[in-house]
Structure 1
Amino acid sequence: MKYLITASLLFAITHLQAQDNDPMQHLLDSASTPQKEYVTGAFKSSRVINDHSMEFIGKHVLDVRILHRFGRVNDGINEFFGLDQASMRLGFDYGLGKNLTIGVGRSTAEKELDGFIKYRPIQQAVGGKGASPVSVVLVTGAALTTIQFPSDAKYTSTTDRMAYYNEVIVGRKFSEAFSLQVSPIYVHRNRVPDQADFNDTYAVGIGSRLKLSKRVAFVADYCYVVSGLNKDVYKNPLSVGFDIETGGHVFQLHFTNSTGMNEKAFITNTTDSWGKGDIRFGFNLSRVFTIGGKKKKTAPEA
């Protein structure tokens, strides 16, 4: 009886170990457990039009961005419907990691220098444990106005020329065709142009993308200023346009009522009104390059 019990125990242990080492059993177990997959491609660029999007450019990727904005269309034929005037921003964004991007830029409007840090603590995912239905992105940045002030200006120091902003983006790719994001934004200006203005401005941005074909998508962003600006003078920036993919480029054509092309500029300096026809035509061009990182080894030719 003692030998029978011992033999039975040995058989049971051996059988259990065989099950644990059975690759087919592991495969079946894995198949029954959904794997978490991150959602990508909510937007085709790290910007919607003016505002940041919830997308990132990737690790060791340099995104060279040329943003061009013409004059107002309703200026008429004398200004060739705005094409005789132009302002631009040249930017360089670099991916330090999958969820971390830094960037700098220079705009002709007020000759502004700007920089930002963009971080994604949560990325939308499906399946698996801990999958999030939305992406959450944090952005902080600063802008420095370098235009020459009048000789009798009271405040001219570097501190007086500085402005800062913080933004939280919450977005979701609802389908292959449609994405939407909402972003509360806070802007602080050390000095304001008029005593009636406020140093702190609070706004809410909305951005969306609707895919029309394999390479073309309709995009729009709107920023509603909650408080901090004189609504009789300043307007809410609204931009609509089309993203066109051409290989390594993302080419965007758009119409907008804002001249500025960084958060401080387009939120606090927009004075044109869509209702009055103060619309500007513009385009954004993005070209990405892979810089740094380990190069993959290739097999020698035969």
Structure 2
Amino acid sequence: RVSHRFGDIFGVNASGKWDFENLWANFLGFESAADVGFGVEYGITNNFMVGVHRTKGSSVLRSLMHLNAKYKFLSQTKDNSMPISMAAAGILTISTMPPSKDVNSLANFPGGFGHRMIYSLQLLAGRKFGDVFSLQISPGIVWRNLVAFNDNNLLVNMGISAKVQVNKVLGIIIDSNIPFDKLRLTPGSGFHIPIGIGFEFDTGGHIFQINLTNSAGIEPTDYIPNTNLNWADGQFRIGFTISRGFRM
């Protein structure tokens, strides 16, 4: 899997209005990468998967390695005797960047290796309503071992995503993740709720997703605590993900 997040398409100018000049100067954000990543996932069984990903990182902590696992313990049945599918997904993120010389920076890692770690755990519950519409909710937590003095280590969050399957090839996806944290839900705090809308193309061999989102990070341990960009200020970007499945 390969993922990419470009820079802001617009942003705001000195007058606080959308900077349309940036549209050409930065060419739709293509000339500045907010985050890039790649990884592999392996299905040990039909219901259990493990993987490893590497991303650039979009906040203070950079050069991120992500170890992830997902276990599916319920599957929706065609006769609706089991109406939903459920899975548990976990991520361990480790920053591999050199420590900052700034003792006031989170990237100084004053507590050693443990301060490089971030954890995420989500419960994924989804349902297909026929062949056209699917809905998923994802309650979860993110735990960061080191945070700023006014922040919280634990972030309880709720993800929600919906997909409309237009035809066998094309799907439309909308997703968001709300952190239930006073700092991140306070107007003027600088944080914003990540929201994305995109298109998914299934070519049979590859799955190609292209989206618009205000989150710069790719993995939940990055974008849930760190999204500080606002759709209303033109701070959204183009992103894409290409996935390829293999049978071994």
What residue in structure 1 maps to residue 138 of structure 2? 183
Structure with the bigger percentage of helix: 1
Paired residues of 1:219 and 1:241 also in contact (CA < 8 A): yes
Q: Structure 1: how far apart are the matches of 2:245 and 2:183?
A: 36
Unaligned runs of 5+ in 2: 12-21
What residue in structure 1 maps to residue 92 of structure 2? 142
- 1:76-102, Cα deviation, whole Å (9 max, x unpaired): 132223110112110111111111111
Paired residues of 1:199 and 1:228 also in contact (CA < 8 A): no
Deviation of 1:149 after TM superposition, in Å, equals 2.9
CA change 1:229–1:265 in 2 (3 A) is farther
Percent identity for Structure 1 against Structure 2: 31
Residue of structure 2 aligned with 1:258, choices 215, 229, 232: 215
1:119-130 counterparts in 2 under 5 A?
Answer: 119-127=71-79
What residue in structure 2 maps to residue 217 of structure 1? 171
Q: Structure 1: how far apart are the matches of 2:43 and 2:174?
A: 24
What residue in structure 2 maps to residue 284 of structure 1? 241
Give the greater-gyration-radius structure (CA): 1
Paired residues of 1:201 and 1:229 also in contact (CA < 8 A): no
Q: Structure 2: how far apart are the matches of 1:94 and 1:133?
A: 27
> Post-superposition, which runs of at least 4 consecutive aligned residues in structure 1 deviate over 4 A?
none
Paired residues of 1:139 and 1:166 also in contact (CA < 8 A): yes
Paired residues of 1:164 and 1:187 also in contact (CA < 8 A): yes
Deviation of 1:229 after TM superposition, in Å, equals 4.1
1:1-302 counterparts in 2 under 5 A?
Answer: 65-75=1-11, 76=22, 77-86=24-33, 87-109=35-57, 110-127=62-79, 131-153=81-103, 155-156=109-110, 157-192=112-147, 194-227=148-181, 229-231=183-185, 232-291=189-248
Instruction: Give the aligned length.
Output: 224
Q: Structure 2: how far apart are the matches of 1:173 and 1:81?
A: 35
Q: Structure 2: how far apart are the matches of 1:143 and 1:196?
A: 22
Question: What code does the residue aligned with 1:200 have?
Answer: L
What residue in structure 1 maps to residue 19 of structure 2? none
Q: Structure 2: how far apart are the matches of 1:230 and 1:287?
A: 35
Question: What code does the residue aligned with 1:116 have?
Answer: N
Question: What code does the residue aligned with 1:163 have?
Answer: I
**Root-mean-square deviation over aligned CA pairs:** 1.5
Deviation of 1:288 after TM superposition, in Å, equals 1.0
CA change 1:119–1:222 in 2 (3 A) is same
